[in-house]
C-alpha cells in the first residue's frame, strides 16, 4: 500500500504540474485553442473588422497582462526564475504590444493614443482582474498558473498553422508571431518554471492551481466570444 502511494507520487512529479493542469481541463483547453475565430484566422476568412476589434481589446488586455507578469517577477524565488519571467515580460512589452498596435494600424484602427484602457469590455476587464489578483495575492506559481493559458494556447494553435499560412498577409503575419521556434522555446521555459516551483503530488496546491488555470482558460474562449459579439464601429 505504502509502496503504491510512493509510486503514484513519483509518477506525478515526473509528469509536471503544467501538463497536469492542462489535462485536467482538457475540454476547456480544446475549446480555447480550436475556437471558430482561430479556425477563421487559419483559413483567412475572418472579417478584417472583427480582427480589428480583437486588437482594440487586446492592446489594453496586454497592458494589464504585462503588469501581472511584473507582479510575478517580484515573487520569483531565484535568479533563473527572474531571468525566464523577465524575458516573458519582454516578449509582451517589446514584441506583442508593438505588433498589436501595428496590426491595428494595418486594419484601419486608431493609433496608440486612442487605445483607451477604459474601453475594455466586461469579459476582458474581468479576465485582467483575475490575472492581477492571482499575481498580487498568490505565490509565484499561482501567478504563473494564471498567465500561462494565454501564452501557451497561442503557441499551441499557431505551431501547426505555420505549415499552410493563409494568403492574407495580416493573418499570416499574426500566426507567424506565435508559430516561430523562439516563441515555443519561451513557452517551454515558462511551463518548466511552473513545474519546478510546484509539486503535482501536493493535493492542496494542485486544487488551487487547477482553479486558477481553468478560470484563465475559460476567459481565453470568452475573449474570442466577446470580439465576435461586439458590433463593428457605427453599428447598433
Total number of domains constituting the chain: 1
Answer whether 71's CB lies under 8 Å from 135's CB: yes
* Alpha-carbon distances of 235 from 46, 108, 111, 229, rounded to whole Å: 18, 16, 21, 12
The answer as to whether 26 is a domain residue is: no
Q: How far apart are CA 146 and CA 190, in angstroms?
A: 12
The answer as to whether 27 is a domain residue is: no
The answer as to whether 15 is a domain residue is: no
Angle between helices 48-73 and 36-43 (to 10 degrees): 120
The pLDDT score that the predictor gives to residue 227 is 86
Task: Give 35-74 pLDDT, tens digit per residue.
Answer: 999 999 999 999 999 999 999 999 999 999 999 999 999 9
The answer as to whether 154 is a domain residue is: yes
Q: Is the pLDDT of residue 5 over 80?
A: no
C-alpha cell read off for 3: 509502496
DSSP 231: P
The answer as to whether 110 is a domain residue is: yes
Q: How far apart are CA 20 and CA 2, in angstroms?
A: 23
The pLDDT score that the predictor gives to residue 14 is 54
Q: What is the pTM of this model?
A: 0.90
The answer as to whether 164 is a domain residue is: yes
Q: CATH code at 121?
A: 1.20.910.10
The answer as to whether 41 is a domain residue is: no
For residue 191, how many C-alpha atoms fall within 13 Å in the half-sphere facing its CB?
22
Residues 6+ positions from 75 with CB-CB distance below 8 Å: 139, 140, 143
Q: Domain residues for 73?
A: 48-229
Task: Give 74-112 pLDDT, tens digit per residue.
Answer: 999 999 999 999 999 999 999 999 999 999 999 987 666
Q: What is the mean pLDDT of residues 188-195?
A: 98
- Number of other CB atoms surrounding residue 177 within 10 Å: 16
The pLDDT score that the predictor gives to residue 89 is 98
Amino acid at each position: 500500500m505504502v509502496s503504491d502511494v510512493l509510486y503514484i507520487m513519483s509518477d506525478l512529479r515526473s509528469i509536471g504540474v503544467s501538463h497536469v493542469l492542462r489535462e485536467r481541463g482538457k475540454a476547456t483547453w480544446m475549446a480555447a485553442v480550436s475556437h471558430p475565430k482561430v479556425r477563421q484566422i487559419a483559413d483567412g476568412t475572418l472579417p478584417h473588422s472583427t480582427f480589428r476589434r480583437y486588437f482594440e481589446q487586446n492592446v489594453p488586455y496586454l497592458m494589464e497582462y504585462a503588469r501581472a507578469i511584473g507582479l510575478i517577477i517580484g515573487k520569483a524565488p531565484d535568479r533563473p526564475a527572474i531571468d525566464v519571467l523577465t524575458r516573458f515580460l519582454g516578449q509582451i512589452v517589446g514584441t506583442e504590444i508593438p505588433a498589436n498596435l501595428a496590426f491595428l494600424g494595418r486594419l484601419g484602427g486608431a493609433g496608440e493614443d486612442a487605445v483607451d484602457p477604459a474601453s475594455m469590455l466586461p469579459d476582458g476587464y474581468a479576465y485582467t482582474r483575475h490575472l492581477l489578483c492571482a499575481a498580487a495575492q498568490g505565490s509565484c506559481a499561482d501567478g504563473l498558473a494564471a498567465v500561462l493559458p494565454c501564452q501557451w494556447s497561442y503557441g499551441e494553435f499557431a505551431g501547426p498553422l505555420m505549415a499552410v499560412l493563409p494568403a492574407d498577409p495580416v493573418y499570416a503575419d499574426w500566426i507567424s508571431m506565435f508559430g516561430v521556434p523562439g516563441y515555443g522555446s519561451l513557452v517551454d521555459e515558462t511551463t518548466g518554471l511552473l513545474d519546478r516551483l510546484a509539486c503535482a503530488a501536493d493535493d492542496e496546491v494542485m486544487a488551487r492551481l487547477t482553479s486558477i488555470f481553468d478560470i484563465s482558460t475559460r476567459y481565453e474562449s470568452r475573449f474570442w466570444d466577446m470580439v465576435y459579439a461586439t458590433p463593428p464601429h457605427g453599428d447598433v
